[in-house]
Amino acid sequence: MSAEISKELKDLISKEDTIKVIASISPQGEVHSAVKQSVTVDENGQLIYLEFFEKSQTNINMVNSIWFDKNISVTIISADNRSFVIKGKTIRSRVFGKEFEKYYRLYEEREKDNDLVAVYYIEPLEIYEQTFAVQKAQHKEKYPLYVHLDKYAEETE
């Protein structure tokens, strides 16, 4: 089931000072995460990830995610330290073709040396905010008894 990326989050993802981190699983089952600023959202609400290195661990893991149906996640961190997690399913990859060439030219214009390897299309499955203050409030409300007694006493005074 797809999840919809809100306009607020789309805007955040499009900002240059937003950090985007992809976490993925290797064929050996190891977790790998890497900053990937080439994550965007397309007009269909899918995440687009542009890969520039054939043998990067993320590229290997993205192939693995398609072959063995393993989900990935993208963490979005804003300049003011808000953070969001998008869990996703890699639904396809393109390594040539008109759409590939559109991205190829776009990123070549940004930096001549950029040599696009693959375009990945990721369907968002689940989205949640992980900003510390938000997570703290949500957790307190949902699990009020996971607390030390001194804190509990302070909160109930």
Partner 1 sequence: MARDLEWRKKELSLDEVAAKFPSFPKLLILKIDVQRRGVIYTEAAQSKIDPNIHQVQSDGQQGFRIEQRYFPEGLILKDGSYLIVSYDYDFENQKRDPYVVDVIDDRIWITDEGRKLAEVSYFVKPDYYNKLASNGEPLTKYISSRPQRIDVVLNQYCHFWDRNGGGCKYCPLTPNYLKQKLKEERYNVKYIVEAVKEALKQEGRFSGFMFTGGSILSGDNVLDDELDAYIELIKAIGDLFEDGKRYPSQLISSAFDERQLERLVNETKLMHYTTDIEVLDREKFAWICEGKNHYIGYDEWKRRLVASIDYFGKGNVSSGMVLGVELASPNGFVSEEEAFKVITEEAETIVENGISLAANVWRPAPGSVFQNQYNPSLEYFVSVYNKFDELHHKYNVGRYTDDYRRCGMHPGLDLLRV
Assess contact for 128 and 87: CB atoms under 8 A: no
Min CB(25)–partner 1 separation in Å: 11
Is 53 a residue that touches partner 1 (CB under 8 A)?
A: no
- Rg, C-alpha atoms of the chain: 18
Question: Residues of 104-133 as b/e, b for ≥16 C-beta within 10 angstroms?
Answer: beebeeeeeebebbbbbbbbbeebeeeeee
Phi-psi region of 31 (alpha: psi -120 to 50; beta: other; left: phi over 0): beta
Q: Identify residues 96-115 at the interface with partner 1 (CB under 8 A).
A: 96-98, 100-101, 104-105, 108
Site string for partner 1, 10-49 (x = CB under 8 A): -----------------x----------------------
Q: Binding partner 1 by CB under 8 A: which of 7, 17, 43, 68?
A: 68
Binding site for partner 1 (CB under 8 A): 27, 60, 63-64, 66-68, 91-98, 100-101, 104-105, 108, 116, 118
